[in-house]
């Protein structure tokens, strides 16, 4: 359920790693919960593995904030279990992800200016 | 995989731990994922790893989801409350009073009956009421004590007095307990400093030793450890301090000084306490004690009064004695009140839930499960309870402070406090239990609301009958309590109006004790009193002043006996009160015939006497008494110079209020406690300090205490009847308040359920006022049923009330009619308010929905 009074995109930043990774994964297309989890785990080399409670807790909160929405389309009906739910990113979610990326870029630039880049970066 | 079904079952169960909303939305996908993961985990190691991950995820996410959903529900509840502030306020106030009164009374029960006494193994301590062991000498008592070893490990004797304590200048009054040397050993308490009494220290010539209380040590010796060995003067007698009792130890009766006993035969002021022998049960000990009491006192059955039979009870029961039954009865009363309050709040919530049937059915249609709606309602109930408990703490504080005033705890460690783990736990349990009680009905109802059916569940005949019976029962209770409060209130007014033989307004009273001072010697007493009175009488604003050895309302001891006139003995015993000149003038007592004593008569110890009317009338007309003489055994007869109305020496007790009274000139005053009385202009309180200081200035070695106005003494004397009046008035007021909520919510629930029917009737031409009138008439039928039972209950409870509160009469017809009219009016107003939505009904809207 999208939030009625949507806050400006940068007011939600910094996002939690879980939120940001979910947005990133959904940026590539619609996914169900389990696929999201596997994608995030792969992306972070297993460093961020979301358990079902934390995953759906995050999804629940992101739905309430209007960052993502449930998708009615079911990609492959004959392979699908009707209990699965599919999610996609909203326009607002995209803006928040952009704002978070911009924030991270600024932070990375500041860090580079201060410490330089590692030799084997 | 053989473990699949079990793992899945377990996971399904764990998913149910999530809050209802989250469970509704995500249990399906989460279970689906679990199947996927389970399929991918092969072997016991992988399975164990999966479970470890799942459980740690559960531990992290469960509290998070709960706090999120509860916060959501709480915000929803607060929005609902804001829409109906009146109803919400009513519910919170009703519960706050219920929970608060329960917590307050429980703190008294907890302090007196549940909290253990501050002694070693207190459950083995006994009090031997109305029993005097052999006590002619220390040897006699201790020999008897040794003989009881079979069932009593130890026995101790106590006797209490108020004494003058301190140095030559500015002594204070202290409460002293004379005890056998083993008193502290029986209780098993350790001193903080020094030692207790030793074996043999209660023998003549060896007993000039004392133990002081912690408070006295701080006050007199400023915590100085050199207190041991120092000397205290008790009524002028020097005593050596050998020990200091621990802080909070003030048994018995706020004692602050313990002195090794001085035995004498014939003394019957002793209290006996004992510790049961180990391995002996209470019933065994009681049986053995009864045999011993029979042996020592074979003819005790002839006493004719069961109060004077020796009996063995636990020390805890003995201390709680006067309050135990009253507090348990009050506890039962307030539990009942809380239950009624809960039922009413349940009805109120039910009516509100029925009102919200449309909203709830829409939510149900949108996918909210029954559990989700129930969870939301339970959150509302818990919040209601929580708000009520916070407000209830104020009620509880007030209740405990009232209880402390009416009946202070016997030991300082038993002070009534709500800041006690058990009391706070009780309050929390009460809040949760009541939210379950008043939340269950609305939750059940909400569970029966189906999607797409805005009308919700219809009321069954049985449910309606229950609700109406509840209203009738409340009407009954309210009528009983209203009439009782009028009756008790009247009794109190008449108690306050009773002519006690003196005028309380503008009367100052100050006590002194000459014990142990140089003024206490025969011949030195009267000059002290004359000097004090001379100075008081010269003070501006003082109209007259005098002194008495026994002050009305406050007399703790009497000199009495069989008096007569001209050698003929009176039928009843008389009380003899020594007084100085101007006593009746100062007290505002009525002199019927003759006059009171002059200074000269007091000084010369003239053989004159003033008698009260009751005494004089035993021998004929009161006016004729002046011609006669009062005879006391074989001593010199005294000439009757006046007949007075007499005074109430104690409130409420028949013995002294209507006793024969003989007043004699106090030629040697100051025997025990003497009280100066002064009649002043203006407020008596304002004159207290100056009169106190005037007395103190005459001789600083004489302690001055009991500095009070007669009005203050009166207020203390009637504290208990006043408490009965306040308590029953509060109960009645609260019952009326609850009846209002009860009737209002039952009616508005009925209206909510019958909206459609009302709409049809309006469409057929009935006006809203007509409809509401019909409902008022129907509602009043229930009230009338309750009133009939109320009248029966009033007649029944009247008798009980007469026995409980002195002066309370059975209820008269006027009071009964007044109560019934009052409740009928209140009920009509509540029904009218409960049906006000009929006036706002939109017929088209209702018919369109159908």
CA distances for B569 relative to B549, B611, B615, B633, B634, angstroms: 25, 14, 11, 9, 12
User: Residue A5 pLDDT more than 50?
Assistant: no
CA distances for B54 relative to B64, B412, B545, angstroms: 15, 55, 89
Q: What is the CA radius of gyration of chain A?
A: 16
Residue in the block written with tokens 């019934």: B820
The Cα B702–Cα B524 span in angstroms is: 13
B259-278 pLDDT, tens digit each: 887 777 666 678 889 998 88
| Residue-level pLDDT at B536 | 94
User: Residue A4 pLDDT more than 50?
Assistant: no
| Residue-level pLDDT at B267 | 65
| Residue-level pLDDT at B244 | 92
Distance from CA of A2 to the nearest CA of B (A): 15
The Cα B158–Cα B257 span in angstroms is: 12
Evaluate the CA torsion angle B385, B388, B394, B399 in order and state its sign: negative
The residue of chain B nearest to residue A35, with distances taken between CA atoms, is: B33
**Contact predicate B246/B192, CB 8 Å:** yes
Confidence of residue B461 (pLDDT cuts 50, 70, 90): low
Residues of A with CB under 8 A from a CB of B: 32-34, 37, 49, 51-54, 56-57, 59-61, 81, 83-85
The Cα B180–Cα B144 span in angstroms is: 13
| Residue-level pLDDT at B252 | 85
| Residue-level pLDDT at B1 | 45
B769-818 pLDDT, tens digit each: 888 888 888 888 888 998 898 888 888 877 777 776 666 676 778 888 88
Q: What is the DSSP letter of B460?
A: P
* Mean pLDDT of the B633-651 span: 81
Nearest to A51 among B22, B32, B54 (CB): B54
User: Residue B482 pLDDT more than 90?
Assistant: no
The residue of chain B nearest to residue A50, with distances taken between CA atoms, is: B57
Distance from CA of B36 to the nearest CA of A (A): 9
B232-257 pLDDT, tens digit each: 888 888 888 999 999 888 888 888 88
CB contact under 8 A, B61 and A57: yes
Which among B113, B95, B482 has a CA at the least distance from the CA of B326?
A: B113
The Cα B387–Cα B390 span in angstroms is: 5
B354-410 pLDDT, tens digit each: 777 777 777 777 777 777 888 888 888 889 989 999 999 898 998 888 888 777 777
**Whole-number mean pLDDT of chain A?**
84
User: Residue B744 pLDDT more than 60?
Assistant: yes
CB contact under 8 A, B26 and A54: no
User: Residue B130 pLDDT more than 70?
Assistant: no
User: Residue B850 pLDDT more than 70?
Assistant: no
| Residue-level pLDDT at B529 | 92
* Mean pLDDT of the B324-328 span: 76
Residue in the block written with tokens 């004489």: B702
* Mean pLDDT of the A25-49 span: 90
The Cα B778–Cα B698 span in angstroms is: 78
* Mean pLDDT of the B823-847 span: 81
Give CA angle at B469 (B468, B475), nearest 5°.
Answer: 90
| Tokens encoding B411 | 């030991």
Confidence of residue B454 (pLDDT cuts 50, 70, 90): very low
CB contact under 8 A, A84 and B54: no
| Residue-level pLDDT at B826 | 87
| Residue-level pLDDT at B831 | 85
The Cα B745–Cα B741 span in angstroms is: 6
Please enumerate in sequence order all residues whose Cβ is within 8 A of that of B754, keeping only pairs 6 or more positions apart, or say none.
Answer: none
**Contact predicate A88/A30, CB 8 Å:** yes
**Contact predicate B36/B4, CB 8 Å:** no
| Residue-level pLDDT at B558 | 62
Confidence of residue B634 (pLDDT cuts 50, 70, 90): confident
Q: What is the DSSP letter of B599?
A: H
Q: Work out the burial of residue B477: count CB atoms within 10 Å of its CB; fewer than 13 is exposed, 13-18 middle, 19 or more buried.
A: buried
Confidence of residue B760 (pLDDT cuts 50, 70, 90): confident
| Residue-level pLDDT at B632 | 78
How would you label B818-832 residue by residue, b for 16+ Cβ within 10 Å and e otherwise? ebbeebeebbbebbb
| Residue-level pLDDT at A101 | 94
CA dihedral B145, B146, B151, B156 (to 10 degrees): 30
Q: Mutation test of the interface with chain A: which of B22, B30, B363, B367, choosing the one with the most A Cβ atoms within 10 A?
A: B30
* Mean pLDDT of the A3-31 span: 82
User: Residue A97 pLDDT more than 90?
Assistant: yes
Contacts of B54 in chain A (CB under 8 A): 51-52
Please enumerate in sequence order all residues whose Cβ is within 8 A of that of B191, keeping only pairs 6 or more positions apart, or say none.
Answer: B184, B211, B243, B244, B245, B246
What 3-state class would DSSP assign to B329? helix
**Contact predicate B181/B200, CB 8 Å:** yes
Confidence of residue B62 (pLDDT cuts 50, 70, 90): very high
Which among B254, B256, B231 has a CA at the least distance from the CA of B242?
A: B231
Which among B738, B666, B751 has a CA at the least distance from the CA of B354?
A: B751
* Mean pLDDT of the B185-209 span: 85
A57-71, B189-203, B654-668 — which one is most confidently predicted on average?
A57-71
Evaluate the CA torsion angle B65, B69, B75, B81 in order and state its sign: negative
CB contact under 8 A, A57 and B32: no
**Whole-number mean pLDDT of chain B?**
83
| Residue-level pLDDT at B685 | 92
| Residue-level pLDDT at B833 | 83
The Cα B644–Cα B662 span in angstroms is: 10
A41-55, B285-299, B315-329 — which one is most confidently predicted on average?
A41-55
Which among B399, B671, B456, B411 has a CA at the least distance from the CA of B548?
A: B671
Nearest to B64 among A52, A57, A81 (CB): A57
Q: What percent of chain B has pLDDT over 90?
A: 15
State how beta strands A68-71 and A86-89 pair: antiparallel
B513-557 pLDDT, tens digit each: 888 788 888 888 899 999 999 999 999 999 999 999 888 887 655
Confidence of residue B708 (pLDDT cuts 50, 70, 90): very high
Q: What is the DSSP letter of B450?
A: P
User: Residue B63 pLDDT more than 90?
Assistant: yes
B67-89 pLDDT, tens digit each: 998 898 899 889 988 988 888 88
Which among B146, B508, B117, B138 has a CA at the least distance from the CA of B315?
A: B117
Nearest to A54 among B22, B57, B68 (CB): B57
Contacts of B25 in chain A (CB under 8 A): 56, 60
CB contact under 8 A, B61 and A51: yes
Confidence of residue B345 (pLDDT cuts 50, 70, 90): confident
| Residue-level pLDDT at B266 | 63
| DSSP sequence for B772-841 | HHHHHHHHHHHHHHHHHHHHHHHHHHHHHHHHHSTTPPPPPHHHHHHHHHHHHHHHHHHHHHHTHHHHT-
| Residue-level pLDDT at B656 | 47
| Residue-level pLDDT at B167 | 62
Q: Mutation test of the interface with chain B: which of A57, A58, A65, choosing the one with the most B Cβ atoms within 10 A?
A: A57
| Tokens encoding B278 | 């180990």
**In this complex, how many residue pairs, one in chain A and one in chain B, have their CB atoms less than 8 Å apart?**
59
B573-629 pLDDT, tens digit each: 788 889 999 999 999 888 899 999 999 999 998 899 999 888 888 888 888 888 788
**Contact predicate B660/B615, CB 8 Å:** yes
* ipTM value greater than 0.90: no
| Residue-level pLDDT at B534 | 94
The residue of chain B nearest to residue A63, with distances taken between CA atoms, is: B25
What 3-state class would DSSP assign to A89? strand
**Contact predicate B629/B620, CB 8 Å:** no
CB contact under 8 A, B33 and A85: no
Angle at which helices B719-753 and B370-406 cross, to 10°: 160
The Cα B505–Cα B710 span in angstroms is: 7
Give the lowest-confidence range in B42-46, B297-301, B339-343: B297-301
User: Residue B562 pLDDT more than 80?
Assistant: no
User: Residue B324 pLDDT more than 70?
Assistant: yes
User: Residue B670 pLDDT more than 50?
Assistant: yes
Confidence of residue B677 (pLDDT cuts 50, 70, 90): very high
| Residue-level pLDDT at B585 | 93
């Amino acid at each position: 359920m999208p939030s009625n009074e949507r806050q400006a995109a940068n007011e939600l930043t910094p996002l939690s790693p879980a939120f940001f990774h979910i947005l990133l994964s959904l940026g590539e297309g619609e996914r169900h919960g389990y696929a999201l989890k596997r994608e995030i785990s792969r992306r972070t080399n297993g460093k961020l593995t979301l358990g079902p409670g934390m995953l759906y807790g995050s999804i629940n909160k992101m739905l309430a904030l209007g960052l993502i929405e449930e998708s009615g389309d079911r990609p492959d009906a004959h392979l699908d279990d009707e209990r699965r739910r599919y999610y996609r990113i909203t326009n607002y979610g995209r803006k928040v992800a952009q704002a978070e990326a911009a924030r991270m870029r600024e932070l990375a630039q500041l860090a580079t200016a201060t410490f330089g880049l590692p030799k084997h970066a | 995989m053989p473990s699949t079904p079990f793992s899945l079952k377990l996971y399904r169960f764990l998913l149910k731990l999530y809050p209802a909303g989250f469970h509704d939305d995500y249990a399906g996908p989460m279970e689906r994922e679990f199947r996927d993961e389970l399929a991918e985990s092969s072997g016991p190691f992988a399975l164990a790893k999966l479970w470890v991950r799942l459980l740690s995820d559960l531990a992290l996410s469960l509290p998070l989801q709960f706090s999120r959903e509860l916060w959501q529900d709480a915000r929803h509840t607060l929005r609902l409350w804001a829409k109906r502030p009146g109803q919400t306020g009513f519910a919170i106030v009703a519960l706050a009073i219920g929970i608060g009164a329960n917590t307050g009374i429980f703190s008294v029960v907890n302090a007196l009956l549940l909290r253990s006494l501050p002694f070693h193994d207190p459950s083995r301590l006994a009090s031997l009421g109305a029993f005097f062991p052999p006590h002619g000498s220390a040897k006699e008592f201790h020999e008897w004590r040794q003989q009881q070893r079979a069932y009593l490990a130890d026995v101790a004797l106590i006797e209490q007095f108020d004494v003058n304590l301190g140095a030559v200048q500015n002594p204070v009054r202290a409460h002293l307990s004379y005890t056998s040397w083993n008193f502290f050993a029986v209780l098993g308490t350790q001193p903080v400093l020094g030692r207790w009494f030793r074996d043999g220290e209660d023998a003549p010539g060896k007993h000039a030793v004392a133990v002081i209380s912690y408070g006295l040590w701080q006050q007199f010796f400023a915590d100085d450890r050199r207190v041991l060995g120092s000397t205290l003067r008790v009524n002028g007698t020097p005593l050596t301090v050998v020990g200091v009792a621990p802080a909070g130890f003030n048994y018995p009766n706020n004692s602050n000084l313990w002195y090794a006993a001085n035995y004498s035969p014939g003394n019957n002021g002793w209290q006996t306490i004992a510790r049961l022998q180990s391995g002996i049960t209470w019933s065994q000990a009681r049986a053995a004690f009864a045999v011993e009491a029979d042996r020592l006192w074979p003819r005790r059955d002839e006493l004719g009064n069961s109060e004077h039979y020796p009996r063995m009870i636990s020390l805890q029961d003995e201390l709680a004695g006067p309050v135990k039954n009253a507090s348990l009865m009050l506890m039962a009363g307030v539990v009942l009140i809380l239950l009624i309050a809960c039922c009413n709040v349940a009805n109120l919530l039910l009516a509100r839930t029925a009102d919200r049937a449309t909203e709830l059915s829409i939510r149900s249609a949108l996918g909210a499960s029954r559990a989700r709606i129930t969870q939301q309602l339970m959150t509302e109930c818990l919040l209601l309870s929580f708000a009520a408990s916070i407000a209830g703490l104020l009620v509880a504080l007030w209740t405990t402070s009232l209880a402390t005033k009416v009946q202070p705890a016997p030991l300082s460690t038993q002070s009534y406090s709500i800041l006690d783990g058990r009391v706070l736990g009780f309050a929390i349990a009460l809040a949760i239990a009541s939210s379950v009680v008043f939340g269950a009905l609305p939750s059940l109802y909400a569970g029966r609301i189906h999607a797409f059916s805005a009308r919700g569940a219809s009321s069954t005949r049985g449910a309606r009958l229950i609700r109406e019976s509840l209203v009738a029962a409340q009407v009954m209770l309210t009528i009983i309590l209203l009439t009782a409060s009028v009756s008790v209130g009247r009794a109190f007014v008449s108690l306050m109006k009773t002519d006690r033989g003196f005028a309380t307004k503008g009367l100052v009273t100050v006590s002194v004790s000459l014990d142990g001072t140089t003024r206490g010697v025969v011949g030195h007493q009267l000059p002290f009193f004359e000097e004090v009175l001379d100075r008081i009488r010269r003070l501006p604003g003082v109209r007259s002043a005098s002194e008495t050895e026994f002050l009305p309302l406050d007399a703790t001891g009497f000199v009495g006996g069989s008096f007569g006139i001209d050698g003929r003995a009176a039928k009843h015993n008389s009380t003899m009160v020594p007084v100085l000149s101007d006593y009746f003038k100062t007290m505002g007592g009525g002199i019927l015939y003759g006059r009171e004593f002059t200074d000269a008569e007091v000084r010369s110890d003239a053989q004159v006497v003033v008698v009260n009317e009751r005494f004089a009338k035993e021998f004929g007309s009161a006016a004729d008494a002046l011609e006669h003489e009062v005879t006391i055994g074989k001593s010199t007869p005294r000439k009757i110079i006046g007949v007075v109305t007499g005074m109430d020496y104690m409130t409420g007790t028949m013995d002294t209020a209507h006793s024969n009274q003989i007043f004699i000139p106090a030629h040697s005053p100051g025997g025990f406690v003497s009280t100066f009385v002064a009649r002043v202009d203006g407020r008596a309180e304002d004159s207290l300090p100056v009169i106190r200081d005037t007395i103190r200035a005459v001789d600083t070695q004489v302690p001055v205490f009991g500095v009070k106005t007669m009005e203050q003494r009166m207020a203390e004397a009637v504290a208990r009847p006043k408490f009965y009046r306040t308590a029953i008035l509060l109960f009645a007021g609260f019952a009326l308040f609850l009846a209002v909520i009860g009737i209002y919510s039952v009616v508005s629930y009925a209206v909510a359920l019958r909206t459609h029917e009302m709409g049809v009737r309006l469409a057929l031409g009935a006006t809203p006022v007509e409809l509401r009138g019909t409902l008022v008439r129907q509602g009043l039928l229930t009230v009338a049923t309750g009133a009939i039972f109320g009248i029966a209950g009033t007649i029944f409870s009247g008798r009980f009330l007469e026995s409980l509160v002195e002066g309370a009469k059975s209820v008269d017809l006027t009071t009964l009619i007044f109560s019934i009219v009052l409740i009928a009016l209140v009920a009509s107003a509540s029904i009218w308010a409960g049906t006000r939505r009929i006036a706002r009904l939109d017929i088209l809207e209702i018919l369109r929905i159908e």
